[in-house]
Structure 1
Amino acid sequence: MRWVVLLMAFFLPALAQEAPPPDLPPEVFRIARELRCPVCQGESAAESNSGVAVEMRRIIAEMLQEGKTEEEIKAFFVERYGEWILYAPPRRGVTLWVWVLPVLGLLLLGLGLFAYFRPKPLPKELLEEAERRLKEPPR
């Protein structure tokens, strides 16, 4: 029974963070999760409680009420802060290499491991010697 209490104490705060506050629709937080907080390190605009992040969420809510799409909202923040603000930068230009290099590295690693561990053919002399020994009667 004690382990149930420990599990609840561990997971309850994580579950409580997922629910958006009642004053903003969940759509606002879904979009804000894809944007970085400009003042916090490693937090999205949805997770942060800084004044800038609160203002970003308010702007997102207003833009949604005006009928703006998610792409238009993101474009607004990219225009203001640059592509750095996006958690998933577009896959073009220099950032394309960020997406391609890990896959390319894994492919090269796999090819190297395959080449290293594949069976290598034995020289003819060794095969002939093994055949000769198999044909000889045991001593």
Structure 2
Amino acid sequence: MLLGVAAAPPAFAQANQAADAAPLHFNSPAEEARFHALTLQLRCVMCQNQSLADSHAMIALQLRREVLDLMRQGRSNDEIKAFLVQRYGEFVLYNPPLEARTWLLWAGPALILLLGAGALVMIVRRQRPADAAPNGDPDDLQEW
């Protein structure tokens, strides 16, 4: 009898994983379209570079089921996103809102590009005078 109790948790875990991996069934084409549009806007919290729709991680499968359950409870897309942000942080959104704490996330790539361009301009300007003189000596350019 003790052996049966010890074997039950792994069997339950496998059954739970199989249920999570089962394909989702939608009540209507509109529900399916809304679901796919929403899961493309959400990031897999494990994969980090894939949307919730594209990820095959177990957590993504579970989150997709949870998103569908929340949709069927009548929650709006914004309410579902707010629920996931509360649980996982703004990282779960592919397009986080522009606000004071996320400005660096939005402006960061442009700032890095500008800093790189500025560094390149400074390097080019510093090399020009040395290239103008044949021996590197500015006095060699003057004719007496």
TM-score, L = length of structure 2: 0.53
Aligned to 1:23: 25
Q: Give the gaps of 5 or more residues in structure 1.
A: 1-20, 110-139
Identity level (%): 38
1:73: Cα distance to partner?
0.1
Distance 1:42 1:102 in 2: 17
TM-score, L = length of structure 1: 0.54
Is the 8 Å Cα contact of residues 35 and 85 (structure 1) preserved in structure 2? yes
Aligned to 1:51: 58
1:30: Cα distance to partner?
1.0
The within-5 A match list for 1:78-93 is 78-93=85-100
Letter in 2 for 1:39: M
Letter in 1 for 2:25: D
Distance 1:76 1:53 in 2: 15
Q: Any idea what SS the aligned residue of 2:65 has?
A: helix
The within-5 A match list for 1:31-110 is 31-100=38-107
1:96: Cα distance to partner?
2.0
**How many residues are matched?**
93
Post-superposition Cα deviations, 1:2-51, rounded to whole Å, max 9, x if no partner, equal: xxxxxxxxxxxxxxxxxxx7724121121111111111131010001111
Aligned to 1:7: none
Letter in 2 for 1:23: H
Give 1 or 2: higher helix fraction: 2
Distance 2:62 2:112 in 1: 41
Q: Give the gaps of 5 or more residues in structure 2.
A: 1-22, 27-31, 118-144
